[in-house]
Amino acid sequence: MGSQGGFGQSKEFLDLVKSIGETRSKAEEDRIVLHEIETLKRRIIEPDTPKRKMKEYIIRLLYVEMLGHDASFGYIHAVKMTHDDTLSLKRTGYLAVTLFLNEDHDLIILIVNTIQKDLKSDNYLVVCAALNAVCRLINEETIPAVLPQVVELLGHAKEAVRKKAVMALHRFFQRSPSSVSHLVSNFRKVWSPGLTSAIPRVWALELKAFTPMPAVAQS
């Protein structure tokens, strides 16, 4: 498969990037990328592929799509990588699915359970990775599956987690305002200068619209 490059990628991958950079026409670039796609289609289904190699294949799939080509044949392998217990692999899987998929993709249902599990992780980096996926992929139908856990994370010890939880709730607010309108009090409980700085000003105004106005006494 080739020796490892200085950043952990194989020489084969680094040569691919180099050859793409040296192309002089779109047609030449497309020819190289199409060859890479055929290579990945064969490699990614080989039995007993080492996890390190599978991680590189997922990165190469991302590169293929960055160049405007379809790599949907490999999406399921990115989803499977989110299930891995190794942090670097799990984070790579989450990064890939957030770039490959949209909230209406059929594969979303396969990662909801993984997200639920990872939101409960003792490793805050795993929690952050799951929250990133929540912010990009959870749709109106799947909000109820993760909402209680996201709300609970507003009280997490790590500020980075609390900020991402707020951003996830913002996502829910954009998709289904009624699903989070009752949570204004939860925000006030965790309000801090650090957390406030993470909240878009426009959302602060949106939330204000849901804050009950004091009753006016009738004369």
What are residue 57's phi and psi, to 5 degrees? -60, -40
- Longest Cα–Cα distance in the chain: 84
**202 pLDDT higher than 70:** no
Q: Are 106 and 137 in contact (CB under 8 A)?
A: no
Report which DSSP code applies to 4: B
**51 pLDDT higher than 80:** yes
Range list of H helices, the chain: 11-21, 26-43, 51-66, 75-81, 87-100, 109-118, 124-137, 143-152, 159-175, 184-190, 193-196, 201-210
- Give me the residues paired with residue 4 across strands: 10
More confident residue, 198 or 69: 69
- Give me the residues paired with residue 10 across strands: 4
Mean pLDDT of the chain: 85
Amino acid 213: pLDDT: 46
Q: Are 127 and 119 in contact (CB under 8 A)?
A: yes
Angle at which helix 143-152 crosses helix 109-118, to 10 degrees, equals: 10
Average the pLDDT over 146-162 and give the result.
Answer: 93
Angle at which helix 143-152 crosses helix 159-175, to 10 degrees, equals: 150
Entry pTM: 0.81
Angle at which helix 201-210 crosses helix 159-175, to 10 degrees, equals: 60
Which amino acid, residue 175?
A: R
**211 pLDDT higher than 80:** no
Average the pLDDT over 191-208 and give the result.
Answer: 53
Please write the tens of the pLDDT for every residue from 95-126: 999 999 999 999 999 999 999 999 999 999 99
Q: Rounded to an integer, what distance in angstroms lies between the CA atom of residue 132 and that of residue 140? A: 16
Tell me what percent of the residues of the chain surpass a pLDDT of 70: 80
Average the pLDDT over 10-15 and give the result.
Answer: 89
Amino acid 147: pLDDT: 94
| Surface-to-core class of residue 43, CB atoms within 10 Å of its CB (0-12 exposed, 13-18 middle, 19+ buried) | middle
| Surface-to-core class of residue 84, CB atoms within 10 Å of its CB (0-12 exposed, 13-18 middle, 19+ buried) | middle
Least confidently predicted of 42-51, 152-161, 204-213: 204-213
More confident residue, 9 or 166: 166
